[in-house]
Every structure is written in structure tokens, then in C-alpha cells.
Structure 1
Amino acid sequence: MRRNLSHCCLLLLLLLGTGVRAQILDPSDTGELDPDDPDYDAASARRGSPQDQRIIAPDTFGIFLYRVDNPNREVRFADSLLNGFQQYAPDQAVPFDYATLGQLGSAAYPLRYTPDYRRGLEVGFRQFDLYKVDANNLDFYRLERPFTYLRYLRGSEQNDGMLTARFSRNFADGVNLLLNYERIFQVGDQDQYPGARVRNTQVAVGVSVRPVGSRYNSFFSYAANTFESEQNGGIADFGTAADLGEIDNLAQLRPFLESTFLRHAYREFAATQYLQFGAARDTLTGRERRAFTLQHQIKIDQQQYRMSSLRAENDTSFYRLNPLLDLDARGVRNLITHDLVSNELGFSTYRRGSSASRETVQRDVLEASLTHQWHRVGGDRGDSTVNFLLANASIGLRPSDRVQLLVEGQLNLIGQIGDYRVAATGELDLGAAGKLEVGAVNQLYSPDLVQRTYRLNDVLLYDRDFGKTLELRLEGAYTLPFVGVRAGMAYSLLTNYIYFDEAGLPQQSDGPHSILQLTAERNFTLGSYRFDNRLLLQQADEAVFRLPQLYGEHSLYYAGKWFGVLNVNLGVDVRVVSGWRPRYYNPLLQQFQLQDRQQTDLYVQVDPFFSLRVTRFRFFVRYIQAQTILNDRLLYLTAEHPYPDHALRLGASWRLLD
């Protein structure tokens, strides 16, 4: 009771802070970006985005991001905005939220269905893809001054938190160094359920060599992703009612599994080189002529997936629900290794230009390449190897900042012959009339490795001979800038879709299944007050897909400037999710599966917050799951895995130049 009283007082102080109007020097500042502002982006200015506050840094040149797969296509780095800064969790920092096991950094899956892109042989463990740093898609920086970015989040105790550090600087002869470090650690006792711990570590190093005036560019990148967790299979004490009243000591609860450990390790090295011809500048017009480029990339990727579960006396309830997994009185284990060596040789031609916001862009591009992949898959029964040959092509057009079109294709020539993917995206900016965004994907792909076969204790649990899955997705969105509305629609049709049933076994549906998704975004402004809204409606076949029909993300806050230097946001984030049967995460199978034991009701999550910014320093205070102060019901986005109750979170970030 005393804890709840103190928390209520803190919430009251935060919400009453909006009354400090005497300290506001510029309440009419909308935060809109001027065309000459370093953070102005002409290509995205017409999207119905919030009235973001901006950092005024006239002494900065600007920072641009590009990736190794196409260093001539850049986007502006804009991490100085205050809006949304308090949404620190990776599962909420994406356009549409992910469901997790209730812990920061735990296994996750998207609440809005999107296609998975496959490239050759895939193992099929994707529960940590949200957090991975890929060496091939590592963000490099184009800048003139050294750049450092630091961010730290403190959880309920010192053993819970998140740390991010990035550094980039230029050296002589066009050499740029990039360092990236991220860690999520949830190993404390105060706000963690028994048998549940998380420690995720991502380290990336990149070196780009782009000498001025040289036709040869090279890029070297290394990424190490390690996901270590203790997984409890859920809390057995909650059952389906999930109503035990206020819980003062989480350690008293009984998990389904007491000692189950998982470790996924990814080590990836990539070396990419480009040799350019042409691109000479016309002496009369000053325009750059068409360029031709030869590209080669070698990539070495090592993956290891290890799971072990020691049998304990209290694990009986889990094995009673999963009798197929009760193989040994001592426990179970699984080990899969996957080594990949990839060689890609390609050719491209393009015309280079600049956007209105000074980004390097390609007015048109045509690319074609061949990729050879050598795979070695290992486990308790030895190793096996397989070779793949993939053909890749892409066509892009950008005659102006208002029109963009990109079409990409992939076809398997050797290995899983016949698998293909064709994807297209496009944008049409009509000025005051709005902005149209469209996309389409058509792909045929073979089952993942763990969808076909899986072993526990070297015992074959299942061995499937599934056919290929055919998927078609069409989507589009339209933004009306004068009313600030963005509406979208997506339709997916899947034939022979593979899923994991209530027993945790893979099954292939015998017919087509469709998913219809509607989205809407609308942001309101009244003086210094903002009301940002994003709504998702989706309808799918529940026999195969388990997705919430309604999911809303809302932020009501005050945005102003105090003392002439402090940009502040003060308000509340609200998440609304309709009742549904969420998927269950089985730690022994390392998969999200269907379940019929738990049905949730409509749930509203309320998180008050306060954030501030002074030049390049940002800070926030966020009180998560505040609704549990008044109601003992807990949030479930994964069955049997409740989110903890109310707690305080503190975070800060600092961007340094020089």
C-alpha cells in the first residue's frame, strides 16, 4: 500500500507539471522544420508526421547514413527529435509494436503481420531478429566531424538496463571507422519473474575506404550478435485467470521451467569492393554522366543455436501440457550450427544526383548479380553441406524527389530450385494533394530447416516433407498533409503456409489464407498540446494466424520550451489491444506456437512520461504499466508470459561532435 501511495504521488507531480505556464517562453513554437534546416527532409516532409521539435545546430554539416549494398543511396540521420524518445524498448521503437515475453530484449514477434525475406537456406529461428545487427546492412556514416552517440537506460535496479554506444570518424585517404555497441541486460531480481533472465550483446565494426577521386571503394564489416537468456516457459501460477492480486515478491511465483537456458550466437564478416567506370562530369552542363560499377562481396557467417533444459521437480506442469517433449528424466538439449560462405559478383549502372536535403541519390539504377552460397549445417548427428546459386536484379527510378520506384528480384538457380521473390516499392509526392506510397511482394519459398526437422537429445522429434509456400502481398498508403492523416491498407494471400500448432509441431495448411490490414495515423495539435495516434485493424484466419484485430498506439502530451533552452514533452503513452488468443513461446522448441489455453480481454496500457532536450542531450522519465496501480490485471502479449507491473524507468542520450 505504501509503495502504491508513493507511486501515485509521483504520477500526480508529473501530470500537474503542465500547469507551469509561467516558465514557457515560446508556447507557439510548432517545431516545424524549415527548408534550410540541417534536419529538413524534403522527401518525407509531406508524410503526416508529428510536429517534431528540432535541434538547432548551425555548426554541424549534417550526418548521412548509407549501407554497403548501395553506398550511393543515402538517408539523413535525424536522431535529435524529442518526440518518441521515451519509447526506449526496441519492441516499441518500430512503426508497429512487437510482442515479447514481458522482458526487455526477450523473444519477440510482430503484432502486425509482415513477410519474411529469405535468401538461400534458412535455419528458421527469428525470435531475436528485432535486435540483430547485420554486417551486410550495417549503417555507415558520411560526416565531416567525429560523431559519438551514447544512450543509457536504467531499469528497476542496477542489474537491469540497456546501453548503446556508436562512434564514427574520418581518417586520411577517405577512411572512415564505425564502432557500434549495444547491450540489453535484465538479470536483476526486483522486476524479473523467476527463471527468466536476458543478456543480449551486439558488437559491430565497420571500415570504409573511399578515397576522393578514386574509382575503387572498399568496405569491411564485422558483426557479433549474442543472445543469452534463461527462459521459464511462462508462469504456471497464473493459469488462465491471471488474477492473483498485487504481487510484492515475484520470486514466490512458480514458473513452468526452472532451469532452461538458450544461447544464439552470430558471427559475420563481410568484405565488399566496388570498381567504378564512367561518371565523368560534362564540361558544358556540369552534370555527372552515367556510371558503371563492378561489385564483389565475400561474406563469412557462423551461427550457433544451443538450448539446454535441466529437469526440476516443479517442471511437471510443463511436461503435462507438452507430453511429446518429455523424453528424458534428466532434461533435454538441442544444438544446431550453421556456417555460410557467400560470394557475390555483380554489375550496375546508374546516374548519381542529390536530393533537396543534400542526400546522395540515384536518378536511375540497373543492377544484376550472381551469388554462390556454401552452407554447412551441423548438430548432434554430424555435418551436411549444400550449395546454392542465386540470381539477383534490381531496377530503380528517381527522376525527381517527388517520384521514386524500385523493383528487386531474386531467383534460385541451384539449391531449392524455383524459389523466387519479386518486390516493388514506389512513392509519388503530389505536393499539397498528398503523398502516395505503394508496395508489392510475390515470393515462393521452401520450408526452413526447423520446420522440416528438429531433434531433442539426438531423438528425432519430427521429420516433415512440406511443399513450398506461395505468398502475395499488396499494400499502399496515402497521406493528406493539410489534415495530417495517413491511411493505409495491406492484403496478404498465403498458400501452403507453415505454422506450429497447439502441440508445438509444424503443420502446413491445405489452402490459401488471407490477411487484411487497415492502418490510420492522425496527429492533432492544439496550442502546445499534441495527440498522436496510430491504429491497426487486421482480420486473419485464426486457425493459422493469431493476431489482435485491434491495436492502437496513442500519445497525449504537452510540448513546449522552458527557460528558453529546454524543449520538454510531458504526457502519457497509451497502448490498446483487443482480446485475442496470443501465441505461446515454447522454449524447448524455440518457437512461437498456437495455443487455446488462454484468452485475453481488451487491455489498455498507460505509461506517463516526461522528457527534455538541451541541445544534443536528452533525458526521460517513464512510468511503465501505471494502470496496474488501480487494476491488478497484467498485460499478456504472449500466452502465459505476463508483463511485470508498474515500475519507473530513467534514460538519457547524448550526441557528441568532435
Structure 2
Amino acid sequence: MNKIIVVLLFVWLCNGLNAQDKRTKPTIDESSLLKAKQDTTIIKPKTTPRNSKEKDTQPRIQDYLIISHENDTTFVDTTLTIQKEYKFNYLRRDNFGLMPFSNLGQTYNSLTFNFQSSNIMPSFGARARHFNYMEIEDINYYRVPTPLTELFFKTAFEQGQLADSFFTVNTSPQFNFSIAYKGLRSLGKYQHILTSTGNFRFTSNYSTKNKRYNARGHIVTQDLLNQENGGLQDGSVLNFESGDPEFIDRSILEVNFENAESILRGKRFHLEHNYKIIREKDTLSKNKLSIGHIMSFEDKYFQYDQTSATTSFFGNAFKTTNLKDRATLENFYNQLQLNYSNNILGSLQFNISNNNYNYGYDKLVILNGVTIINRLKGNILSAGGKYLKEYKSFTLKGEAGLNVSGEFDGNFIKAQATFKLNEDISATASINHNSQAPNYNALLYQSDYINYNWRNNFTNTETQQLAFQLKYKKLANITVDFNTINDYVYFKEDISFTAGNSVLPVRPFQNNATITYLRVKFENEIKFGKFALNNTILYQNVQDDNEVLNVPDLTTRNTLYYSSYLFKKAMYLQTGVTLNYFTKYYMNSYNPLLAEFYIQNEREFGDFPRLDFFLNAKIRQTRIYLKAEHFNSSLTGYNYYSAPTYPYRDFTIRFGVVWNFFL
């Protein structure tokens, strides 16, 4: 019934909206305006103006607006920069701090962690498969003067390719919709690691002529399928590291199994709308009062299928063939808001929320005479608030939330103060406290493998973060955060199963000591003529008696590149070399049954450089990318891994393009 209600609301939103008056444009930040000045894209109108008075109707690049979940507004950027090079990947965002697996569309090992959070509900689990799962915060909305299309293409490994197609249009000044689909199919270099993923997005936003009512929403469906092989067998690990030319063809290396696949699939219907009771121009005191409502329904599942049990890898199973583990989650979320703002007090919001959740499995498991429940379901009632005040060069932000009733306790407090000296220099300090229940799969898990069944009663994980950021555009961007983590939940091999078991299962545990975690990140770019050196350096220090949070001490990315116009400025060229490196540490292992990374303290990995050569060009609004990835792979020794038993990519050449159309 909930699904039907949400679908009907979206049908109403998309079909009953017609208006003709112009809408006030959202404010664009100064950094975006600077990009507009650098963007050489020329947008031609559909028709030639009939007189000189109509020349101003030609749209500008900064008229093509992109509005984030947080209502931050930027615009379409067709420039070619080093940041665009960093984002030209499967995730389409800067993946610094992530170590990709060998095939496109597989998971990533995390080299760093951010413990700032405002979540007060458990997450689904299967976190290794969520890097490309688009959450509510990942969806943007648009406003464009003419239809806009963007086509993205990049070659994959062996058979297949990656493509992302996007289209948006304003049918009137009041109503915009967009539709997009990102699809991938890649066979990979190793045995049984084919990936096939798809992300469909539909968004719309609307405002009435008098601007009192505003609504926006999206529909997202996603399916992320991976074949699983459990990594290389021990003998194949030795053959890989030997560098023997016989094994340069990676397809002949033997893997642990070739009969399993996993899929994460989800669909979400999301709607946000508000009504302004008192608008600013209605009163002399500049008071504004509005009510808002957010409604979101998400249905997702993670499923692991295997044609026959691999007892040598996961241990004994309840059955020997056609194994299937399937965890599902239905979550229906509603929030009511009261928003008030005043030119003296600032902006205030009070909200109440309800989370109706239903996580679990379709069967009961009886283990050693004990029945493990198969469902966690209920309602959580929450209350919260937000505050924002801007005064001259200062900006103050605050947010808090608390679970008032229900099975899961949770709360968070977040505060931030920013001082902006001028356009180039700013400083920010923030503090964050969070108490959140562990992920659902740590609390309850069921499997056809006997030792992968549990029901845990963990306490909340509590984190505190104190962070500082100093931005100086002409010199550097420095970020420091200090974290304390209590009752941290992690996955690890359970040594209590040693007796009578040749295979140790991976299970969740809760740390009984306090972890302190320091991160210092330094970013800058040094320019000399047409050359530039772009640097990102991350230092991390963990104080953890139990060694359950493992990260490298130093992670760095350095790019030396050359930029110039060619052919009478018909083409803009960027070419250079990027070095990626991190120091040795106890890198987390990957468990395909759980789709989770788990800690290991037996062997250190890292200390291998990865060099990429790139040649990128922009012609009109088209960006062309050519890259020789890891071209030093045969020169520095075969010790490069994405996770234990999962080697990283060998040298390969890949090509791609991003093309914008302004109609």
C-alpha cells in the first residue's frame, strides 16, 4: 500500500504541473562564477534574434543550474581541469583514499575513514557493494533554459564498456525533469569476475507561479551484479608475485571458486515539498514561515548465490547445492518540518520523523537447538532541528537529532562555524557527536553456510569528531580532524571456531576499547608557466590497542601536468603523469559472502607506486580522455594488491569521452 501511495504522488507531480511565469534563480557561489569565466563553451540559441533587443536572450553557461540535496547551487561545467581527470572514473567522483579492485565495477578497499555522521538509524550492511549505490544525497536536481544532454563513455576491461547518459529539460520556467542511466559491463582479466551494473535516475522539481509551493522528487532503481571468485588460491598468489612470464596472462591463475555471484538491487521513491505561509515580501520585518514534508520509500536487497557449497572457503553448509542468501530491507520515512527565518535571528527548523523499517530473511534458522529470529522491524520516532545564521564574514550552522521511541537508540549533534576573510581565504571549525546502532547485518544475519548465522545485541557505536579546515586558494587547503570511537563494530575471523574447523568464519565483533584517530590532509597546486604540480597528501595516526582500525600512515597523490591551447585555441590540451602511493599496513581482506571487508593482522600490503600517464583534450564542449594506467607495473615488482589475494590492475590503456549538448 505504501508503494502505491508514493507512485500516485509522483504521477501527480509529473503530470499536473503547468506554469509560465519566470522563477527567481538560486544564488550561485563565487567559485562557480569563477569557473564560468574560464569556460569557453559557446551556446547557440535555437533561433536567430530578429533584432538587437533579443541578443540578451541567448543562454549563458551559468544559466544551466545544478541543485544538490542540500540546495547548494552550481552549474554545468564543461572546462577541462585536473579535477575532471580525477573524477573521470566509474564512480564519477574523486576516489582519492579508495583502492579499486582489478575489474571496473567491483568494490574498493578504503584507505581512510570519515566518522562524521548524522545518521541515527542502522545502515543496511553489505557496505563493500555500496560505493556505486546512489543514496538520496547523491541525487541532483536541475533548472535549464534549453534542453541539456550529457553523454559519458569509457572503455572497460576485456568485453564491455561503461556509459552514462543524461538528459534534462524545463518544460516551463516552473517545471524541470531529468532522466539518466549509467550502465556497465566488464569481463575483467581474472577468472569469474564479470561485473554488470545499472543505475537509473529520474528527477523532477516544481514551483508555483507565486513561489509559495515548491516540490522536488526522484525515482531511482539500481542493480549491481558481480561474479565472485574468492580471490587467488595460495599457489596462484605465489605465481602472481613471482613475475613469471607464463602467468602474465592473468586468466590462467586459479581462483578459490567459479560458481558464485552477488547482486545488490534497490528502488527508491523520494519526495520533498514545502509551502510558504509567510513570505519575506509579505512583511516589513523580513520574517519567513513555511511547513515542509519529506517522504521516502526504499526497497532493497542483497543476494549471494552459489551453485555448490565451497566448504574449504566458508566452512560447512546446511545444503550442498543451490545456496542462496538474501537479506531484504524496506524502509518508509516521513518527516514534517516547521521552518522560520528572520533577518536578525537567522533560520530555524524543527522537525519530527518516523522510520518504519523491516529488515530480515524469509526463513527461520535453528542452530544448536536455538532458533534465530529472521526479522528486525518496527517504528522509530525522532525529533530534530537545524540552525543557520550568516553575519558579515561569519556563518554558523547547527543540527541535532534524537530517536525518541523505538527499538534503536540514536542521537547526533553537529555544529560548524566559518569565517571568510576574502574570496581566497576562509577557516572552518566543526564538531560532531554521533551515537548509532550497528548495521543490520552485524545485528542479524542468516546464511546457508552454518557458521554465518547470528543474532547480536551490540550497543551503539559512539563517535566524536573535532575538525578544522583552512583554505587559501593561492597556497593550500589544509584539513585536520581528530576522532574518538567507542564500541566500534568490525568484522574479523572468529578464532573460537578453531577446534574441529579448518576454516574460520568471518563474524562481527564489538571493540571494548576507545580508538583515537587523527587525519591531516594537505592539498595544493604549484604552477610554473604552462606546467603545474597538483598534490594531495594524507597523514593518519591510529591509537588502538586491539588493532581493529587499520589504515596506512601516509597516502599521497601527485600529478605533474602540462596545459595549453593548440590550433589557434580550437583545442585545449592537458597531459601529465599521476603518482598514487600509500605506505605498508595491514590491509583489510574481502569476504564475498557478506560483501564486507574484515580486518587481518598477518601480512602488510602497500608501498608500491602506481604511475598513470594521461592525455586529455577539450574541443568545444567535448572532453576526450586517454590514459595509460599503472604503466610501471612490470618495473616495480608484482606486489600490488587491492586486498589480500586480490591483485590490482596490470598496465592497460583506456579511452573515454564526455560530450555535452545544449539545444
Secondary structure, counterpart of 2:441 in structure 1: helix
User: Partner amino acid for 1:473?
Assistant: Q
**Equivalent residue for 1:42?**
30
What are the within-5 Å matches in structure 2 for residues 61-80 of structure 1? 61-62=61-62, 63-67=64-68, 71=71, 73-80=72-79
Deviation at 1:396, TM superposition (A): 1.2
- Change in 2 beyond 3 A, CA 1:545/1:90: farther
The answer to whether the Cα contact below 8 Å between 2:429 and 2:469 also exists between their aligned partners in 1 is: yes
User: Partner amino acid for 1:370?
Assistant: I
Deviation at 1:208, TM superposition (A): 1.4
- TM-score, normalised to structure 1's length? 0.83
- Change in 2 beyond 3 A, CA 1:363/1:203: farther
State whether structure 2 residue 37 is matched by structure 1 residue 55: no
Deviation at 1:364, TM superposition (A): 3.6
Q: Distance in 2 between matches of 1:583 and 1:337?
A: 26
- Change in 2 beyond 3 A, CA 1:257/1:365: farther
What are the within-5 Å matches in structure 2 for residues 106-121 of structure 1? 106-115=106-115, 117-121=118-122
Secondary structure, counterpart of 2:85 in structure 1: coil
Q: Distance in 1 between matches of 2:638 and 2:553?
A: 20
User: Partner amino acid for 2:656?
Assistant: G
Q: Distance in 1 between matches of 2:139 and 2:172?
A: 22
Question: Sequence identity, in percent?
Answer: 16
1:449 corresponds, among 413, 434, 440, to: 440
**Equivalent residue for 2:10?**
none
1:552 corresponds, among 552, 556, 561, to: 556
- Change in 2 beyond 3 A, CA 1:435/1:61: same
Greater relative contact order (Cα < 8 A, sep 6+): 1
**Equivalent residue for 2:257?**
257
**Equivalent residue for 1:311?**
308
Q: Distance in 1 between matches of 2:621 and 2:96?
A: 27
Deviation at 1:554, TM superposition (A): 0.9
1:206 corresponds, among 193, 203, 214, to: 203
Deviation at 1:502, TM superposition (A): 3.1
What are the within-5 Å matches in structure 2 for residues 413-562 of structure 1? 413-416=404-407, 418-431=409-422, 434-457=425-448, 459=450, 461-482=453-474, 484-503=475-494, 504-540=506-542, 541=544, 543-562=547-566
Secondary structure, counterpart of 1:626 in structure 2: coil
Secondary structure, counterpart of 2:609 in structure 1: strand
User: Partner amino acid for 1:150?
Assistant: L
What are the within-5 Å matches in structure 2 for residues 337-352 of structure 1? 337-350=328-341
What are the within-5 Å matches in structure 2 for residues 134-153 of structure 1? 134-135=135-136, 138-153=139-154
Deviation at 1:166, TM superposition (A): 1.6
- TM-score, normalised to structure 2's length? 0.83
Secondary structure, counterpart of 2:657 in structure 1: strand
Deviation at 1:326, TM superposition (A): 5.3
State whether structure 2 residue 378 is matched by structure 1 residue 386: yes
User: Partner amino acid for 2:395?
Assistant: Q
- Change in 2 beyond 3 A, CA 1:429/1:509: same
What are the within-5 Å matches in structure 2 for residues 391-410 of structure 1? 391-400=383-392, 402-410=393-401
- Change in 2 beyond 3 A, CA 1:433/1:573: closer
User: Partner amino acid for 1:527?
Assistant: G
**Equivalent residue for 1:179?**
179
The answer to whether the Cα contact below 8 Å between 1:149 and 1:165 also exists between their aligned partners in 2 is: yes
Query: Is 100-109 or 635-644 further displaced after alignment?
Result: 100-109
The RMSD of aligned alpha carbons is 3.0
- Change in 2 beyond 3 A, CA 1:655/1:220: same
User: Partner amino acid for 1:106?
Assistant: Q
Q: Distance in 2 between matches of 1:476 and 1:566?
A: 40
**Equivalent residue for 1:24?**
none
**Equivalent residue for 2:586?**
581
User: Partner amino acid for 1:244?
Assistant: S
Deviation at 1:495, TM superposition (A): 0.7
Query: Is 548-557 or 160-169 further displaced after alignment?
Result: 160-169
Aligned length: 592
Deviation at 1:491, TM superposition (A): 0.8
User: Partner amino acid for 1:82?
Assistant: T
Q: Distance in 2 between matches of 1:448 and 1:637?
A: 24
The answer to whether the Cα contact below 8 Å between 1:86 and 1:622 also exists between their aligned partners in 2 is: no
State whether structure 2 residue 373 is matched by structure 1 residue 369: no
- Change in 2 beyond 3 A, CA 1:480/1:300: closer
**Equivalent residue for 1:624?**
629
The answer to whether the Cα contact below 8 Å between 1:278 and 1:289 also exists between their aligned partners in 2 is: no
User: Partner amino acid for 1:584?
Assistant: S
**Equivalent residue for 1:168?**
168
Deviation at 1:86, TM superposition (A): 3.3
The answer to whether the Cα contact below 8 Å between 1:219 and 1:271 also exists between their aligned partners in 2 is: yes
Secondary structure, counterpart of 1:544 in structure 2: coil
- Change in 2 beyond 3 A, CA 1:421/1:480: same
Which runs of 5 or more residues in structure 1 are unaligned? Answer: 1-37, 353-361
The answer to whether the Cα contact below 8 Å between 1:576 and 1:602 also exists between their aligned partners in 2 is: yes
- Change in 2 beyond 3 A, CA 1:414/1:653: same
The answer to whether the Cα contact below 8 Å between 1:217 and 1:274 also exists between their aligned partners in 2 is: yes
Q: Distance in 2 between matches of 1:374 and 1:471?
A: 25
Secondary structure, counterpart of 1:628 in structure 2: coil
Secondary structure, counterpart of 2:633 in structure 1: helix
User: Partner amino acid for 2:439?
Assistant: D
Deviation at 1:555, TM superposition (A): 0.7
The answer to whether the Cα contact below 8 Å between 2:157 and 2:189 also exists between their aligned partners in 1 is: no
Q: Distance in 1 between matches of 2:531 and 2:479?
A: 26
The answer to whether the Cα contact below 8 Å between 2:561 and 2:577 also exists between their aligned partners in 1 is: yes
The answer to whether the Cα contact below 8 Å between 1:53 and 1:81 also exists between their aligned partners in 2 is: no
Q: Distance in 1 between matches of 2:511 and 2:189?
A: 37
Deviation at 1:524, TM superposition (A): 0.9
Deviation at 1:386, TM superposition (A): 0.7
Q: Distance in 1 between matches of 2:304 and 2:550?
A: 26
User: Partner amino acid for 1:562?
Assistant: L
